Amino acid sequence: MKSIYILPCFLMFGALSSCQGNDDIVQLFPDKLESYNTINPITDVTFHDGRPFSADNTLDNKNSLAVPTEGVLMQGFYWDVPAGGNWWNILKGKLTDWSKAGIGAVWLPPVSKAQNGALSMGYDPTDYYDFGEHNQNGNIETRFGSRVELEALITKAHAEKIKVYADIVINHNSGGQLEKNPFTGTDTWTNFSGIASGKFPRNYNDFYKNSHGTNDEGAFGGFPDLCHANPYVQDWLWGREDSVGKYYKNVMKFDGWRFDYVKGFGSWVVNAWNKNVGGFSVGELWDSNVDTLEGWANNANSSVFDFAAFYKMDEAFDNGNLNALKDDMMWKRNPFRAVTFVSNHDTDIINNKMLAYAYIFSHEGYPTIFYRDYEEWLNKDELNNLIWIHNNKATGTTSILHVDQDEYIARRNGYNGNPGLIIYINGSSNWQERWVDTHWENKQLKDFTGHSSWYPTTETDKRVKIQCPPNSYSIWSIDQ
């Protein structure tokens, strides 16, 4: 969630920014469902609960057997993308190349009309059903384009086998008109009865404080705080056939949801949305505490962004202490519900990004790549290579083989005939070499990153010596 600046109450501009159900486990891991169900019923999943690594240093993610078939998630925007209504067309033009690279889903910014109209990034929503077709809030199109262009983008994405996730902002609204509010004794900006779409009209009783209570988990930035306890609000968000959720899924053809600022309302809200609407979901719970992330994900029946891993990667790769990667992270607790990331539109603190991307693309969880990292700032060929490695080699549970301040080595143990991989991260200024344990006997390996020219062969005891260049990484697997 971006920091905001509130102008006088008569003119609030939205300089704002800002989980995964059982069906989505099937969508993301269809090749593992049969074996998965022989371990635990899919409705009663248990994972690593914070216990120490087992004797062989294998993380207790006993059900993490395969790689998500979605590939990699692209965050398809950044803060203050160019205004002018052309962003949907820009993204549409990139989809074919993204699909070829192995990107399986794209997350879009909030798609509906917001208070700041053609200048808004969408995080100050006014009319959830105006996708750039009504002359409202000073413009017809949104900052990103028209409804026709948005639908063309989604259609093209699906033709390229890319799923599309919508950013859902339901903590707060903005752009209403003044009305007398008996619960505050003042006039409040809570009259949304005149919205152009005519869908989901709202008044003071649909925002806190009201007849349903004084407040919920958290308001944001002084904006009217939507009251999810109100059955009317619930019905319009996910209950009725033309609710926001069902309209976005069935009419606009979105495949999933990124829920903004979930600290602002109970996890039951996302759970109810997922139960009634379906589709992939991930919550923005900005908290590095793994217990908090795991608890929310379980209660919401949703994925969650792995902020614990995000901050540990910053400590490891920018502060020269790879021992931080020993610490607990959401992907270690429950890889099915962990969406990993290196940067996004709200926060971009990791400087040594290639090491971080090598980490998330080789490990468990559902990795996200940031638009500007991919399209503008980093080496696209190197990122495409990591995406290929993720989609083709990064399978199975994770075993931590060696960690110290300068070196980190982990093994993905493979699944269903896929041999897995070994990743070696070197934070020092010198080449490093180390003998490691593999699952492969008398097999020739290669570094699929091309950073090392070695082609070592594993011994009869399945050990092998691998190497890694300074301040870089290598990723090893069977040469096939």
Catalytic residue check, 461? no
Domain 22-394, CATH = 3.20.20.80
Q: What average pLDDT does this structure show over 258-264?
A: 98
pLDDT of amino acid 434: 98
Domain boundaries, the chain: 22-394
Q: Is 250 annotated as a binding residue?
A: no
**Lookup result for tokens 């900052």:** 143
pLDDT tens digits along 116-174: 999 999 999 999 999 999 999 999 999 999 999 999 999 999 999 999 999 999 999 99
- With a pLDDT cut of 70, the percent of the chain lying above it is 85
Question: Choosing from 70, 124, 149, 260, which is the catalytic residue?
Answer: 260
Q: What percent of the chain clears pLDDT 90, i.e. is strictly above it?
A: 85
CA 234 to chain centre: 24
Nearest 5°: the CA angle 281, 304, 19 is: 20
What are the residues whose beta carbons fall under 8 Å from the beta carbon of 93, sequence distance 6 or more?
none
Look up residue 365 and give its DSSP letter: S
DSSP label at residue 52: P
Lowest mean pLDDT among 63-67, 298-302, 361-365, 475-479: 63-67
pLDDT tens for residues 352-393? 999 999 999 999 999 999 999 999 999 999 999 999 999 999
CA 314 to CA 250: how far, in whole Å? 40
> 284, 373, 406, 447: which is the annotated catalytic residue?
284
Residue with tokens 């606009």: 252
Structure tokens belonging to residue 106:
């794209």
In sequence order, what DSSP letters do the residues of 81-119 get, joined into one string? Answer: ---SS-HHHHHHHHHHHHHHHTEEEEEEPP-SEETTGGG
Q: Is 416 annotated as a binding residue?
A: no
284 tagged catalytic: yes
Confidence of residue 480 (pLDDT cuts 50, 70, 90): confident
C-alpha pair distances (Å), 227 with each of 6, 116, 204, 292: 21, 22, 10, 23
